Amino acid sequence: MSGLKITLLQQPLVWMDSPANLRHFDHQLERITGRDLIVLPEMFTTGFSMEAANQSLSQEEIIAWMRSKAQQTQALIAGSAALLCERGPVNRFLLVEPEGTVHFYDKRHLFRMADEHHHFVAGNTRVVVEWRGWRILPLICYDLRFPVWSRNRNDYDLALYVANWPAPRSLHWQTLLAARAIENQAYVAGCNRVGTDGNGHHYRGDSRVINPQGEVIATAEAHQATHIDAEISLSVLKECREKFPSWQDADSFLLR
């Protein structure tokens, strides 16, 4: 059955400078070929700023750049950006196909400790994207702490998290990524940034890909600007779920 080749770009971000960040990722993507999915961090054009939606590039400009990179690499390009849309400012996860199709998910759980809920509009729709035989659930940073929103309803194979997750809570990031994989019997990939932002928050990265057993199959060295590659397997996923079918006993939840 189908494999999926994933690349996670664990990189620093230039504070509130979209053109500089796009130039940086231009350089990174020049060297990447033969992948199915390439993932950039949360708010990859600005860093995690509450003013980002008002000062970032437009959605049209960011999508145009992502389309060009998807066509160049022949991969699904994924990452979140702060955008102004008809609903107001959103933290929007964009997933763009080489042929130009755009999928998006707006972050549901806004990080109140940074007052994100006062500056952005929360999303209310869970999204699953189908790509090259895989069902992908895109989620953003703080969403990781809320397992009901991530619950696998037998509708996804890979949960994809992008983040600006600060270093002091790195243990939470690593533990919760593994927990989401185990409890949902799915692959999980988490792409986090490194470096220090304009508010003085430092980021370790700890980007990783985890299999349905909770085992880390690829991980980035902490504090390093780098990228990691992994190939995940639908055959392995199917075997895991058939041998230990705990998913059949999962509770159902009604979200209001």
pLDDT at 252: 83
d(CA 219, CA 214): 13
Q: Which domains does the chain have, with CATH numbers?
A: 3-249 (3.60.110.10)
In the annotation, is 238 catalytic? Answer: no
In the annotation, is 42 catalytic? Answer: yes
Do the Cβ atoms of 119 and 132 come closer than 8 Å? no
Residue 227 CA neighbour count, 13 Å, CB half? 19
Burial class (CB in 10 A: 0-12, 13-18, 19+), 223: middle
pLDDT at 2: 85
Pairing of strands 195-196, 226-233: unpaired
d(CA 58, CA 200): 26
Q: Which of 69, 107, 116, 191 is catalytic?
A: 107
Q: What is the per-residue burial (b if ≥16 Cβ within 10 Å, else e) of 200-221?
A: ebebbbbbbbbbbeeebbbbbe
pLDDT at 225: 98
pTM for the full predicted model: 0.97
Q: Which of 97, 116, 141, 191 is catalytic?
A: 141
| 3 CB neighbour count, 10 Å cutoff | 15
Mean pLDDT, each 10-residue run in order, the chain (256 residues):
91 98 98 97 98 92 98 98 95 98 98 97 97 98 97 96 98 98 98 98 98 98 98 97 93 77
Token pair in block for residue 142: 């703080």
C-alpha distances out from residue 178 to 45, 70, 159, 205, Å: 28, 29, 11, 15
In the annotation, is 141 catalytic? Answer: yes
d(CA 215, CA 174): 11
pLDDT at 1: 47
pLDDT at 135: 98
180 closest CA partner among 239, 137, 236:
137
Do the Cβ atoms of 234 and 134 come closer than 8 Å? yes
Q: Which of 42, 97, 116, 191 is catalytic?
A: 42
Our CA angle for 79, 224, 6, nearest 5°, is 40
d(CA 161, CA 237): 19
